[in-house]
Each structure stands twice: as structure tokens, then as C-alpha cells.
Amino acid sequence: MAENVLIIGAGGWGTAMAVLLARKGLAVTLWARRAEFANELRRTRENLPFLPGIGIPANVAIVGPELPDFSEFVCCFAAVPTRYLREVFSKIGKAYPATLPLVSLTKGIEQETLLFPTQILKQCTGAKNVLSLSGPSHGEEVAQGLPTSVVVAGDGFGKELQKLVSTPTFRAYLTDDLIGVELGGAAKNVVAIAAGGLEGLHLGDNAKAALLARGIAEIARLGVKMGAQERTFFGLSGVGDLYTTCASPYGRNRGFGVRIGRGEKPADVIASMEMEVEGYNTAKALVALARKHGIEMPIAEQVERVLYHGADPHKALLDLMNRTLKAE
């Protein structure tokens, strides 16, 4: 008998995970927040707004907004953008069984509380086993069956989750560094906006290489101060995820940055995009988190200035180049 899994959130990544696990033979239930969207997914068997061109297998049951019976499932995945995560899971919280493992597929930092997704989920549900699945994993490529490697972080269900999600094209590694994995997954989106800005300004590959190298360095500085393991930031959920997000044509944060570099206003670009740009909201939270811990993050600070204080992108990048000279 197939294992039953539940995915809360029917965006591109939630749908891609549903496709991946269904192809493995699991019985998947995909929950959508809006009834009309759930009906459209059932009718077309394709997520046209967020994952076009990929058929949703027959063993994916699509429900929503009513919640299914949680007792049917061995695991639940949260695939809701950070800014909606508390709202969605606060409504689910009372019905959520404490013993049902809960896996965050979300990458970000909540602006109001500076909490990571697993911390929000713990507050909202009281689940005993809350984990994170992260790494370089664009949903478009996962759904196409292209080779992907990710990291599973958290206690209590890690080995079981590793086996549950792994397939011949989707490999999961284990780590106990939950802070490092979640910080890497959140902060790389902010650096990706800067990388896109470089492209939009036609400033070349040398500049982008320097940005990635210095970006991972400042992320690691903050992570170590928060208790993470430095090596995490030079693995899949650190430099691996950072590279993919800064280089891939699927990268929404990179694409957002490209448009800003070309002269568009951040608010106008956000208003025109249907898919969530996690780095936009994360930038302000990341800078606040760094200041809380007394860590300097010049790239994140310049991105936040451009997004929220009207700073000129070209001048912001020149300011980074003209900082006081020091050892690497």
C-alpha cells in the first residue's frame, strides 16, 4: 500500500514535489488555499500559472480549501511563501497532530519576528518533528526529472524523510544544522537580487563572481554567529543553492534583480509578477537579523537600500566596490 503524504501549498514548488513523489508511487494530496484554483488544477491536471507543461499524475488528489483528515498521512510538507506561512498554519494549527512530521519547503525570514519557516511552523502547530528540505532545487527541473540534490535538516524524522523523498534523480543528504540550512536558503535569494542587478547593468561576469564569493562569506559570518556550522554554507544548501539561484533562468529573484538593474522600480516589478519573490521580503528581515547579531552584511544592506529606500542600483554597487580595503 502506497504511503500517503500531504503538501500544503499548490504553487510551483509544492506542485513539483507532488509530481516527484507521485511518480515514485506515493499517494499525494495537494492542498490549494482557494477553491477555484483547486478546481482548475483538477480540471486541467496542470498548474498553468506556476508550473506549465507538466502534467499532474493521477495519484495526486487535489483538495482545498477544506482540510483533509491528517490521520491518513505519514508526513506533511509546507510549501507556502514565508509571508503567508503563519496565516495558513495558524488556521491549521488546532487540527494538526503533534506526532505528524512537518517538513518546510519554504525559504525566507519573517519580517515581523525574524523567525525562520520551521520556527513559525513550530509556533503554529506544536508539531514535535519539524524539518527543512532545502538546496539547489528549482521546481521546473525537479518536475522534468533532471538530477537534483538537496539537504534534509532536523531531528526525529530525518532518515525517514531522506528515504521518503529520494529517487534515482532526486538525492537527499542529511544534516543536523537546521539554522545553517534555513539561513542559507533565505539569504541566497537576497544575493540573487544583487546578481540580477549586475546583469541588468551589464557589469560582467567578474563582478558576479566576486558578488557570489563575498555573498557566501557574509552569509556564513552571520550563520556562525547564530550557532550554525561554517561548513554548511559551502555545501548544497549554501553555495550550491546560491549558484543556482544567481545563474538559472528559472530564478525569480535573479530575474527580479535584472529588471531593477535595467531601471524598473522594485514595487512596479513586484506588482507585475504572479510568483512570489522571496528575496524582496527577506532583504529587510535579513538586514535586521544581521544587526541584531552585530554582523556586517554589506551586500544585503545595499540590496535593502535599493528595494526599500530608493537607492540607485548602480551607485549601490559602486559603494560596495569602494568600501575600505581589507584582507579577504
Indicate which residue of 24, 188, 208, 265 is catalytic. Answer: 188
The cell numbers describing 71, all together, are 490521520
Q: Does residue 75 sit in the same domain as residue 102?
A: yes
Residue 169 in domain: yes
How confident is the model over 126-152, as a mean pLDDT? 97
The answer for residues whose C-beta is within 8 angstroms of residue 105's C-beta and 6 or more apart is 9, 13, 14, 17, 77, 78, 79, 133
Final residue of a domain: which of 120, 147, 176?
176
Q: Does residue 163 sit in the same domain as residue 184?
A: no
**Each residue's pLDDT tens digit, 160-176:** 999 999 999 999 999 99
The cell numbers describing 229, all together, are 556550522
Q: Amino acid letter at 303?
A: V
Domain count along the chain: 2
Q: Does residue 169 sit in the same domain as residue 293?
A: no
Residue 253 in domain: yes
Q: Does residue 188 sit in the same domain as residue 125?
A: no
CA distance 150 to 167: 12
Is 188 a catalytic site residue?
yes
Residue 326 in domain: no
The answer for residues whose C-beta is within 8 angstroms of residue 100's C-beta and 6 or more apart is 70, 73, 75, 76, 127
Q: Does residue 217 sit in the same domain as residue 137?
A: no
Q: Does residue 205 sit in the same domain as residue 147?
A: no
**Each residue's pLDDT tens digit, 140-196:** 999 999 999 999 999 789 999 999 999 999 999 999 999 999 999 999 999 999 999
Q: Does residue 200 sit in the same domain as residue 317?
A: yes
Q: Does residue 217 sit in the same domain as residue 136?
A: no
Which range marks the domain in which residue 60 is found?
Answer: 4-176
| pLDDT at site 58 | 97
Q: Does residue 169 sit in the same domain as residue 279?
A: no
Percent of the chain topping pLDDT 90: 92
Whole-structure pTM value: 0.95
Q: Does residue 13 sit in the same domain as residue 154?
A: yes
Q: Does residue 196 sit in the same domain as residue 161?
A: no
List residues bridging with 6 in a β-sheet: 29, 76
Q: Does residue 137 sit in the same domain as residue 88?
A: yes
